[in-house]
Structures are given as structure tokens and as C-alpha cells.
Amino acid sequence: MNQPRPLVAGNWKMNGLRASVSEAEALARRLEGNKTVETQVMICPPATLVALLAAALDGNSILIGGQDCHINPSGAHTGDIAAEMLADAGASAVIVGHSERRADHGETSKAVRAKAEAAYRAGLTAIICIGETEAQRKQGETLNVMSEQLSGSLPGAAVSGNTVIAYEPVWAIGTGLTPTLDDVGEVHQHIRTELTGRLGADEGAAMRILYGGSVKPGNAAELMAVENVNGALVGGASLKADDFWGIISVYSGR
């Protein structure tokens, strides 16, 4: 079975001002000059920069994503952003269910599924995040939690063309800690089995499963080499073009 094309997506979180566009432009130049890199690259900037980055990178292969969306296409929802607005601003994807949204904004898997459906409605790819807390891992609950979050968050209409799964252990995000390679492999295999059970062998194998949580240039190669890891969702190390490039270029000339 062919491996899906790897995706490395940078999640800038609540970081980035207009000056940060130059980092994205520097990255675009690197990609332009390194045609052997097979990675699909995406940047998910704060909403204020989506249109700006889309314009700056127009004609380049870097995709733009949002970090969250509301379930409705418009309406009286102060401070929220519709998937349609992200699409209109030039995004082709949106992250939904990031653990920071689940924890800080009380987003349930049911809410995450509705957001993913909103993404489809707007023609966006949904990057659906799942991941266990430290306590859940210590209690040996990781695989159960993955099954629960997947079945709760994944819409019935999910296919490999409109959905990417990101496995992000909550305790590994922004901490410099990562699971062992065996643990990453175990969880990704479990997610793969769930996906093939749900979507059938071909679609289940084609859906990309990203690893996220303290991915850095120094550990990207070994993490990305784990079976069923089809790329990365990168926070801190995506903010500087040099660091992000160190992760993206792992997929060069393999």
C-alpha cells in the first residue's frame, strides 16, 4: 500500500504579527529551492494573518490553515470565526479539537465533530486532534481514550481527502517531552486500525495521521520514521523558518 504524502503543519497558536510573514516567505524560498522535498507544508497562523499569509504565499505550494472554527457559517457569535470565513481568506484547512481548545474552552468531542462538519461544508480539510492527558497515560487508558475521542470527533462524512488526524499527547505539547518511539508506534497503529475498521482498508490507509507534541529538528527524523506517522503538527518549532525547515526536510530524498 502506498504511503500517503506526508504533511507537516505548523500551528502558530497565538503567536505572530504582520512581521512574521517574512518567516513564511523565507520558508517558501527554501521549498522553492529544494524540489526533492516531498512534504506537503501548511502554516496555521492566528486568524489575523490568514489572509495576509495567503496573499504573501500566493502561487507557492504552502497551504494555509485556521486554528479553530465555529459550527455556523455566520451569525451572532462575537469573537468567533466561521469556516467559510477562513476559506474566503485563503485557508484550505482548519485545526479542530486541539487540546488547548478542549481544555481552555471546554470543547467536547461532539463539538469537535460539529466543527469538522463545518469545515467540510466550507470545503476545508479538518485536522482533528486527539490525545491523552498524562494521568490517562499513567492509568493505561491511552488507547481507550483514542478510540473514544476518534469515535466522538470523527464525522460520518470523513474521508482521507477531507480529514487529517493529529495524535498529540497533551503532556507532550510545549513541554519538550515526547513519548517513546514504541509508544508513538502503538498509538498510531491503534488509530490506523480504528480508521480502517471504520472507513475500509483503502480509505483507512490513505488518511494521514500526524504526530504532534514537542517535534523539533533534532527528533523529527526518528518520529517521522515510525510506521503510520504521516507527518507532524508542530507548535513552537514552526515559528522560525530555520527550525520548521529542519522538520519539513526530513522527508527529503528518501
Contact assessment for residue 99 and residue 11, using Cβ atoms and an 8 Å cutoff: no
Among 109, 142, 153, 214, binds ligand PGA (CB under 6 A): 214
168 interacts with ligand PGA by CB under 6 A: yes
Among 41, 126, 170, 173, binds ligand PGA (CB under 6 A): 173
Min dist. Cβ of residue 86 to ligand PGA (A): 17
Q: How far, in Å, CA of 172 to CA of 165, rounded?
A: 17
107 interacts with ligand PGA by CB under 6 A: no
77 is catalytic: no
Q: How far, in Å, CA of 169 to CA of 174, rounded?
A: 10
Query: Containing H/E element for 100?
Result: helix 99-104
Where would I find the beta strands (DSSP E) of 56-193? 63-66, 93-96, 125-130, 163-167
Q: How far, in Å, CA of 18 to CA of 139, rounded?
A: 44
Residue 26 grid cell: 523565507
Min dist. Cβ of residue 116 to ligand PGA (A): 17
168 is catalytic: yes
Min dist. Cβ of residue 65 to ligand PGA (A): 12
45 interacts with ligand PGA by CB under 6 A: no
Report the interface residues with ligand PGA, using CB under 6 A: 11, 168, 173-174, 212-215, 233-237
